[in-house]
Amino acid sequence: MNAPAIVASVLGADYSRLAGEVRDLQSAGVDRIQWDVMDGHFVPNMTFGAAVVGACRPHVDLPFEAHLMVEDPDPVLADFVSAGCNTVIVHVEACPHLHRTLSMIKGMGARAGVAVNPSTSLDFVAHVLDQLDHILVMTVNPGFGGQEYIAAMEDKVAEAREIADRSERPVQVEVDGGISADTAAAPWRAGADLLVVGSAILDHPDGKGVATEEIRQVLTEAGTAS
């Protein structure tokens, strides 16, 4: 079993120097950058728009993904793809016409993903699997960084893995929320391909590179043990 990719969330980054933050994350060895886009309605906080993402795009070579925690993602999909996001993830809870939304993302040349909140079932996946590249299982309730990992979601991660494996397409499973060196191994064992890490990297007292290496070491040891 290959170790999962590490996706760095910039939700808790220093917004006054975001270009420098993404450069630092690339130097730290993460595999991609996630932009947590919040509208103040679907979740309580507000973050940044596509113009900010686009301004940071020339500063690193890493893939970008947009995690759209917004009530109506359809009008902004093209903006984030144009800003350089290779993957666009929407929430099933915010999309009354989910198949159409995913089809729009795919039609723009990006990878399409769906995020599910902790209380949301994965039943919807069967009806959109033909348009899906990513299933993002939230292991916290969305809207704030630094929350405690919800271990009970590991069963849902395993369920998402089973769904992905039954698909005729290469669907990836991503886990987001409370991931650190202490928690990273469990969702990987449950079937995650990608782990989103925010404050555990951004706030590490010894720096982003040390934090990233600690997580990779934990995953290496877990893989050896299994």
Q: Is 40 annotated as a binding residue?
A: no
Q: Is 146 annotated as a binding residue?
A: yes
- Measure the CA angle with vertex 38, ends 189 and 47; round to 5°: 110
Continuous H helices in the chain: 18-28, 50-56, 77-82, 98-107, 154-166, 185-190, 199-202, 208-225
Active site residues: 36, 176
For residues 144 and 125, the answer to whether their CB atoms sit within 8 Å is: no
Q: How far apart are CA 147 and CA 192, in angstroms?
A: 19
Q: Is 9 annotated as a binding residue?
A: yes
Q: Is 207 annotated as a binding residue?
A: no
Q: Which residues contact 24 (CB under 8 A, 6 or more apart)?
A: 208
For residues 47 and 39, the answer to whether their CB atoms sit within 8 Å is: no
Give how far the C-alpha of residue 224 lies from the chain's centroid of Cα atoms, to the nearest Å: 26
Q: Is 178 annotated as a binding residue?
A: yes
Q: Is 67 annotated as a binding residue?
A: yes
Q: Is 54 annotated as a binding residue?
A: no
Residue 208, SS3? helix
How far CA 3 is from CA of 7, 124, 211, 218, 222, in Å, comes to 13, 28, 16, 10, 9
DSSP single-letter state for residue 46: B
Q: Is 145 annotated as a binding residue?
A: yes
Instruction: Please enumerate, by residue number, every residue annotated as part of a binding site.
Output: 9, 67, 143-146, 176-178, 198-199
Instruction: Please enumerate, by residue number, every residue annotated as part of a binding site for substrate.
Output: 9, 67, 143-146, 176-178, 198-199
